[in-house]
Amino acid sequence: MVKASAGGGGKGIRIAWNDDETKVNYRLCKAEAKNFFSDDRLLIEKYIVDPRHIEFQILGDKFGNYVYLPERECSVQRRNQKVIEEAPSKAMDQATRDRMGRQATMMAAACKYYTTGTCEFMLDQKKDFYFLEMNTRLQVGKIIRTLCE
């Protein structure tokens, strides 16, 4: 995937399945990034087919104590913007939840971040997950708890 480094809202993102598409999409993304963000720098990222967007709230203190709260799934999106947040995620099992939550708190501890924050991940169909970003604030949104299985 070719992506504008200053991008947001789905602008400046193109999927490339081969070398020819990479070359074409590189030029298109560069022009789009310059137009929308006045910054034509690009990133190359792994493209995940049918990902799940999972977020964890983390809390840390100055004494090195870190915890994570149960995850939210933010996969229902329109133009790469979250529409619905659901907790807990139906895609998660306890082992994946524990691994992902530990990873979120380890990242915060590694940079000595304390207070509240949000760690975002992409989860693939094999339950492998990839760090997306960390927001150094508590993200609030409408959380819907699903009552049906």
From the list 21, 85, 133, 149, the catalytic residue is: 133
In the chain, which residues fall in CATH 3.30.470.20?
A: 52-144
Alpha-carbon span 120 to 138, nearest angstrom: 12
**Residue 67's Cα: distance from chain center in Å?**
19
Alpha-carbon span 14 to 23, nearest angstrom: 11
The topology under which CATH files domain 52-144 is: D-amino Acid Aminotransferase; Chain A, domain 1 (3.30.470)
The string of pLDDT tens digits covering residues 83-116 is 888 889 999 999 999 999 999 999 999 999 989 9
Q: Give me the pLDDT at residue 143, please.
A: 41
Q: Does residue 79 have a pLDDT over 80?
A: no
Per residue in 108-121, is it b (16+ CB within 10 Å) or e — as a string? beeeebbebbbbbb
Q: Examine the residue annotation and report whether 45 is marked as an active-site residue of this protein.
A: no
The rounded mean pLDDT for the chain is: 88
